[in-house]
Structure formats: structure tokens, C-alpha cells
Amino acid sequence: MRGDIRYFILSHMKAIELKEKVSLKDYLYTHNFSVKEYKKPFLCKFHEDHNPSAAIYNTNKGDFYICFACGVKGDIFDIVGLVENLPRFKDQYKFLKEMYENRT
């Protein structure tokens, strides 16, 4: 049991570090979201959107996506899970880690 707790804490710390290195704004831009800057509304690709209804906010916990029309919201892991069809956190983490390593 004690090893499980250590693994959880280590995994959480690595996820936070990765979240700080990978920009949600940049990720969405590479997937043809019309993101221009933080807090500026853009078209949401998770529903048929004709009026800009989504925005990215930069918080002290990292970037956060929210669509005020369809209700999709989340951090980079949540959005990667939706865009890449990766429902499990460990798959989202692995995807982002590989993406970041290939960039540097």
C-alpha cells in the first residue's frame, strides 16, 4: 500500500510538471481551433458553432478550456482526451509526454 501512495504522488507531480510545459493554446492551434489569444472567444470544435463560444483562460493551475455553449471544459489532459479519443488519464499523459519530447 505504501508503494501505491508513492507512485500516485510521483505520477501527480510529473503530471503537474508536464502541464506547465505544454500549452493548451498551442495544442489546440495545431488542431485547427481558431485560438488567437487567452480569454478571446473562438469557435468550439466540439459542437456546430456559428458564434464564438469557447475560450482559454490561463490560471495559476495552468490553461483551462471552457465552451459556454456546449459545456465542454477542462485542462490540457481533459481536452487531449476528447480530441485524441483517449479516455484514460495515463494514455493522455503518455500522449502529451511524447508530444513534448518530440518538440524539444
Q: Using an 8 Å Cβ cutoff, are 41 and 52 in contact?
A: yes
pLDDT at 19: 84
Higher per-residue confidence, 89 vs 47: 47
40: left (phi over 0), alpha (psi -120 to 50) or beta: beta
Rounded CA separation 80/86 (Å):
7
The range of the structural domain enclosing residue 48 comes to: 2-103
pLDDT at 9: 60
Higher per-residue confidence, 31 vs 8: 31
pLDDT at 1: 43
Rounded CA separation 7/1 (Å):
10
Looking at the DSSP bridge assignments, the partners of residue 58 are: 63
Mean pLDDT confidence for 86-97:
89
Rounded CA separation 33/16 (Å):
24
Count structural domains, the chain. 1
- Can you give the CATH number for the domain in which 42 is found? 3.90.580.10
| Residues found in the chain | 104
- Residue-wise pLDDT for 14-72, tens only, equals 888 888 888 898 899 888 888 888 899 999 999 999 999 999 998 888 899 999 999 99
